[in-house]
């Protein structure tokens, strides 16, 4: 490794910090100025766009958004609020429940489809018909099917990760080099041995990819499901609704700062979950990182 490559992580970290800082600064300025796209200073821009035939009333107004400092203040204020942390816990539980179920069901199912032609023939067409249905389209049906709202949200969350995991497992297992099977069979591997020592480790990298992507989808789905279903509000108002309901509730209550607090919270939650999975993924696939 040369000097430039060694300095690369620090440099790329610095770049990340600078880019976030610049965005925050522009946002702060825009929110405070009350001028961007809407105020007097934007008049020439609006006149130009108007002359070109644009309806200037359609322009967004950055000034209407809460500034980052306001968001921070609002965040600091609710950090001690138990309800806010209960929203975190609620969403985390739903995500981990749905995600774990998707892994537990999805991995064996995907492996079965990959190794068994009959199973593939029977189940894959059905799977492919169901797969394009967005998990959120399942929300009303799921509320009818499942006895509790909690179960219905978890089920929709499960669907979000399930398809991605299965597709990755099937694709990963089928992409294993045929020579690995040939070599293993020449050396006397039984079917079980082939499965355990070739198919399983050979599919592991794809399982990790499927899990990381699936985790991201799970967060998208849980938040939307909480918004639509009212966040299981019978459990206890704001406190029981999860982060999705937290955002929705802030919007209804007119607390725009809290909307952004909720959004950033989800961003952080999703990032932490994905990083944890990547870390775990690297642990179980050591041969990929050691070059």
- If binding is defined by CB under 8 A, does position 287 make contact with another protein? yes
Q: In angstroms, how far is the first alpha carbon of the chain from the final one?
A: 12
Judged by CB under 8 A, which of 16, 193, 253, 267 binds another protein?
193
Judged by CB under 8 A, which of 15, 174, 197, 283 binds another protein?
197
Judged by CB under 8 A, which of 89, 115, 123, 184 binds another protein?
184
- Closer to another protein at the Cβ: 44 or 188? 188
Q: Which two tokens stand for residue 132?
A: 């394009």
Site size with another protein, rule: CB under 8 A: 23
- If binding is defined by CB under 8 A, does position 280 make contact with another protein? no
Question: To the nearest whole angstrom, how small is the minimum distance from the Cβ of residue 6 to another protein?
Answer: 20
- If binding is defined by CB under 8 A, does position 35 make contact with another protein? no
DSSP-based three-state secondary structure for 3: helix
- If binding is defined by CB under 8 A, does position 80 make contact with another protein? no
Question: To the nearest whole angstrom, how small is the minimum distance from the Cβ of residue 251 to another protein?
Answer: 49
User: CA–CA separation, 79 vs 135, rounded Å?
Assistant: 32
Spatial CB neighbours of 61, under 8 Å, sequence gap ≥ 6: 36, 37, 38
Identify whether the C-beta of residue 120 lies closer than 8 Å to the C-beta of residue 129: no
Identify whether the C-beta of residue 258 lies closer than 8 Å to the C-beta of residue 246: yes
- Closer to another protein at the Cβ: 203 or 273? 203
- Closer to another protein at the Cβ: 69 or 285? 285
Judged by CB under 8 A, which of 9, 188, 254, 279 binds another protein?
188
Tell me the window of 71-79, 162-170, 179-187, 208-216 that interacts with another protein (CB under 8 A).
179-187
Please report, as residue ranges, which positions from 200 to 239 form the binding site for another protein (by CB under 8 A).
201-202, 204
User: CA–CA separation, 172 vs 208, rounded Å?
Assistant: 10
User: CA–CA separation, 263 vs 121, rounded Å?
Assistant: 42
Question: To the nearest whole angstrom, how small is the minimum distance from the Cβ of residue 190 to another protein?
Answer: 7
User: CA–CA separation, 228 vs 110, rounded Å?
Assistant: 30
- If binding is defined by CB under 8 A, does position 175 make contact with another protein? no
- If binding is defined by CB under 8 A, does position 195 make contact with another protein? no
Identify whether the C-beta of residue 126 lies closer than 8 Å to the C-beta of residue 109: no
User: CA–CA separation, 238 vs 99, rounded Å?
Assistant: 24
Tell me the window of 29-37, 125-133, 192-200, 226-234 that interacts with another protein (CB under 8 A).
192-200
**H-helix or E-strand containing 230?**
none
Question: To the nearest whole angstrom, how small is the minimum distance from the Cβ of residue 201 to another protein?
Answer: 4
Best CA proximity match to 169, nearest among 131, 126, 199, 127? 199
DSSP-based three-state secondary structure for 55: coil
Q: Which residues bind another protein (CB under 8 A)?
A: 177, 179-180, 182-190, 193, 197-198, 201-202, 204, 285-287, 290-291
């Amino acid at each position: 490794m040369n000097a430039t490559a060694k300095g690369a992580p620090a440099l790329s970290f610095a770049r990340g910090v600078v880019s976030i800082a610049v965005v925050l600064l522009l946002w702060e300025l825009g929110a405070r100025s009350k001028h961007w796209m809407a105020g007097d200073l934007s008049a020439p821009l609006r006149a130009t766009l108007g002359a070109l035939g644009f309806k200037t009333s359609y322009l967004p107004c950055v000034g209407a958004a809460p500034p980052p400092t306001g968001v921070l203040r609002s965040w600091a204020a609710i950090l001690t609020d138990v309800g806010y942390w209960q929203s975190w816990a609620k969403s985390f539980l739903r995500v981990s429940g749905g995600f774990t179920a998707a892994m537990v069901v999805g991995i064996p199912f995907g492996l079965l489809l990959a190794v068994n032609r009959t199973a593939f023939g029977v189940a894959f067409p059905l799977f492919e018909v169901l797969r394009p249905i967005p998990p959120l389209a399942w929300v009303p049906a799921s509320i009818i099917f499942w006895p509790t709202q909690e179960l219905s949200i978890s089920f929709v969350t499960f669907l979000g990760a399930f398809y991605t995991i299965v597709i990755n497992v099937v694709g990963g297992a089928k992409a294993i080099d045929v020579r690995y099977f040939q070599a293993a069979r020449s050396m006397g591997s039984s079917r079980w041995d082939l499965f355990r020592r070739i198919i399983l480790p050979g599919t592991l990298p794809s399982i990790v990819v499927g899990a990381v992507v699936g985790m991201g989808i799970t967060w998208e789905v849980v938040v939307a499901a909480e918004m639509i279903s009212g966040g299981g509000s019978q459990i206890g108002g704001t406190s029981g609704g999860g982060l999705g309901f937290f955002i929705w509730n802030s919007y209804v209550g007119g607390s725009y700062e809290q909307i952004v607090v909720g959004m950033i919270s989800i961003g952080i939650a999703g990032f932490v979950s994905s990083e944890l999975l990547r870390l775990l993924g690297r642990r179980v696939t050591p041969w990929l990182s050691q070059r």
